[in-house]
Structure 1
Amino acid sequence: MRLLLCSSSSTERSYLYKALSESLNSVEVADNVEYAVYLASQEPFDTAFLCAAASEAHDGIASALEAFTRLPDAPAIVVALTRATPADCARLLHAGADACFVQPWSIIEIQERMLALRRGALVHASAPLVRLDPSTRDLVEGILRVPLTTREGR
């Protein structure tokens, strides 16, 4: 999995880089959310993992989430916070985060959540382009409808 790791704390960044790399992920590192958004606009990532140690950083993450969601190939976004209330998490989830963790968090749980988000994205991407409408027996592709004969619709 291709990950974008963003943390302003060098200690946290090095620990997470090591832990995520050992899980066979390709990890790119950014030290601030503006640079992370820039990297995500230049290269495709499966997941952006944003960490915030101070509660003041929540506003920066919330504004970055809006920028991430506007990208054509927007990555899944996982946020890990040192201190936060349930209202803080709800605000970030509403702003576009796919998952939000508050310390004490487990790197194993975060890794599994990222894999689950990726599986969901793969299932969504592999949805059939053409489907059969059972009520009208029409073949449907986007807004195009092709009526089938009784024999073809079986």
Structure 2
Amino acid sequence: MGKKEYHIYVRGKAVPVSEEVYKAYWKITEHEKYLQRKDWKYDVIPFSAMDYDGHFVDNIIDERVDLEKIVEVKMQIEELNKALATLTKKERELIEAIFYKEESLRSISKKEKVSYQAIGKRRDKILEKLRKLLEDKF
């Protein structure tokens, strides 16, 4: 029996992710549902209720909320997830160890029995690969 595969859906397409990314995604999603239930309990009006004429952004003016920035960040996250999905399993594992699990280069190098400089070079190469994939998008 093979290792369980984890996927999240981005724009209707299943994107393979690590178990850690999958769990983090669902933790955030469940928290959003919890906040929504709390809003209902206290009669908080959702932004979508303001979209009675198709001009949602024009119906609300709040200088503190930059909706364009929020949408832009969400799109960047989707593009990053697509780019991460193109990495090899070994590349993805290294990126997850460094950025999601916050492991140090030294601890990773000890596990893999290579110098931490070698891990740093590998990290830099992967980040450059991601940067090139993403620079066309933004």
The TM-score with structure 1 as length reference comes to 0.23
The TM-score with structure 2 as length reference comes to 0.25
Q: Structure 1 or 2: larger strand share? A: 1
Q: Structure 1 or 2: larger helix share? A: 2
